Amino acid sequence: MSPLRKLVFVLFASICTAAGASAQILDIQNDPRQLGLDIFGGINREVPPATTALKLSQLIQIYRFRCTRVTDFQLYNVRPNLIDMKVKCSGDPLYGVTVASNGYVAVYGGNGMLAGLDRRDSVIYSVAADGTVEGVSRISADEALEETLTRLQQGDDFNLAYMGGMLGMIAFVILAGSLIWFKAWKNRKGKPRKRRTVEPLRRTASVASTAAKDILILQSERIMPHIYKHPSGIFIAQGRRGKRRFFSSLLWAVAYRSLGWKLFQTIPPKAEDFGPVDEAVGSEESA
């Protein structure tokens, strides 16, 4: 091989090597995972905010979002393995950027779906056009309390009537549940064992005959149409077909009278325990 050919071959090999190295560097620079790792590591190493803003702009552009220049960014949520940021580009709505220690990257927003920057959430970095940091917005605990009270007084983002109504409803539900439970527990503890209600959907055997039911009704006080209350505290309800059944609660007596629900029936009392009855109204209904 002549010296001229050797020289041409060496020059060609050098050009190919340089082009390959340049392409590799360009691919690394345009790799979103690498940029995400650089941003994550730079935030943890506390690099200058201008450097982070530049890399954020490049990352947003790689995902084909419009971002001429990053003017502000906020470290919204910083965790050991994940960092969530709000990024404001010049002339565009907020973008959300998430980077992780394993190279995970996500860019979203740009359509007004993200709430505005609020210094009560975390520190906000403002970057000028020349790359210098214009300012850092911080807020102390006293300032946060003062701003929150001001917003409450002005009604911004808060509706005191709505919040008060929700709290009142929650308190009412808790109180009503407690009262129902206490009443059920008290009735269960106060009744004799033979008068305790059995399973809700299981019919309780009744040994009262038709004549005994007539006597019990004569001994009772009519409190509602077809519903009577016996001196023993038992409610007697007459259903749509004329059947008379016994309940320990007025609620279940009304449910049986109106809807035919046979829930929480109880054993009828003995008629002779409440004095003699001179006459009883006969009935042809079955027990």
Q: Single out the residue in 144, 159, 177 at which a domain terminates.
A: 144
In this structure, the answer to whether residues 118 and 15 fall within a common structural domain is: yes
Does residue 74 lie within any of the structural domains? yes
Compute φ and ψ for 48, nearest 5 degrees.
-55, 140
Does residue 108 lie within any of the structural domains? yes
Average per-residue pLDDT in the chain? 76
In this structure, the answer to whether residues 28 and 120 fall within a common structural domain is: yes
pLDDT exceeds 50 at position 279: no
The count of C-alpha atoms lying within 13 angstroms of the C-alpha of 143, restricted to the half-sphere facing its C-beta, is 8
Q: What is the pLDDT of residue 154?
A: 59
Does residue 281 lie within any of the structural domains? yes
Q: What is the pLDDT of residue 100?
A: 93
Domain that holds residue 21: 7-144
pLDDT exceeds 70 at position 73: yes
pTM: 0.42
- Tokens in use for 250? 């007025």
Helix %, strand %, coil % for the chain, to 5?
45, 20, 35
- What kind and span of H or E run contains 58? helix 49-62
**Count of structural domains, the chain:** 2
**Per-residue CA distances from 257 to 237, 253, 286 (Å):** 6, 6, 17
Per DSSP, what are the bridge partners of residue 71? Answer: none
Does residue 164 lie within any of the structural domains? no
Q: What is the pLDDT of residues 87-129, one digit of tens each?
A: 999 888 899 999 999 989 999 988 888 888 887 788 888 888 7
| Contact in structure between 235 and 250 (CB atoms under 8 Å) | yes
Q: Single out the residue in 113, 128, 144 at which a domain terminates.
A: 144
Q: What is the pLDDT of residues 217-240, one digit of tens each?
A: 888 888 888 898 888 888 888 887
Does residue 157 lie within any of the structural domains? no
Q: Cα torsion at 183, 188, 194, 200 (round to 10°)?
A: 80
In this structure, the answer to whether residues 67 and 125 fall within a common structural domain is: yes
Of 241, 211, 205, 210, nearest to 226 by C-alpha is: 241
Q: What is the pLDDT of residues 241-258, one digit of tens each?
A: 888 888 888 888 888 888
Distance between CA atoms of 281 and 287, rounded to whole angstroms?
14
